[in-house]
Amino acid sequence: MTNRRPLRPAAAGAVVALLAATVLAADQFTKYLAIENLPPGEPVHVLGDFLIFILTRNPGAAFSLGEGVTWIFTIALAAVAVVVVWLTITRVRSRLWAIALGLLLGGVLGNLTDRVLREPGFPVGHVVDFINTPWMMPAIYNVADIFIVSMMIGVALLVLVGLHLDGTRERRAASDDEETDDAAPAGASDRELPDQPTAGDAPRN
């Protein structure tokens, strides 16, 4: 079975840009719906205690950490976005990497948009959160957070399986097997073979 040809730079960029734009649009649209339809701070049980909507505005990171240094999170999100774009332009040729980085970039841009455009203003805007699943975690989060967390796990898995940004894979195990196969005939040739009888050694009557 032949491997797929690596993506061209333009194709990798198109995949990342399309997925990032889709996630960004979904994140901002769901935040708009939450702001327009949810009472601030009041839990709305959508599926009992399985899924609850609670509209909050978070100046900090996860679990409202770092509320007094919102600008640091703005810089961090911007730095991640720049790194993803740089990797896409210079190194990404793998479809799986393009998908993972595109979805990650969309999530980053979703929260970065809040930091830049929402009250109280640039660069300390508060992120709109509204999703709560108490059975899984006590935090309130949004669509962007879902893609950020899941794609960071996806990136870690791609690294663990040895898939490089250019689509190549690590071949350490295969190389070891080839060395073992090459060494086996050489070792066999060094062993002494038992003496075989010759015509001259045949018993005489």
Instruction: Give the CA dihedral 47, 48, 51, 56, nearest 10 degrees.
Output: 120
Question: Residue 144's closest CA among 106, 114, 92?
Answer: 106
pLDDT in tens, 97-152: 999 999 999 999 999 999 999 999 999 999 999 999 999 988 999 999 999 999 99
The SS3 of residue 82 is helix
Indicate if the pLDDT at residue 86 is higher than 90. Answer: yes
Which is more confident, 33 or 199? 33
- List the catalytic residues: 129, 145
Instruction: Tell me what the mean pLDDT of segment 55-66 comes to.
Output: 76
| Mean pLDDT over each residue of the chain, to the nearest integer | 86
pTM, full prediction: 0.81
Please say if the pLDDT value at position 186 is more than 80: no
What residues have CB less than 8 Å from 99, skipping those under 6 apart?
15, 19
Strand 51-58: give its sheet, edge to edge.
44-47, 51-58, 127-132, 140-141
Lowest mean pLDDT among 13-22, 80-89, 153-162, 168-177: 168-177
Q: Provide φ and ψ at 98, rounded to 5°.
A: -65, -40
Helix, strand, coil percentages (3-state) for the chain, rounded to 5, are: 60, 10, 30
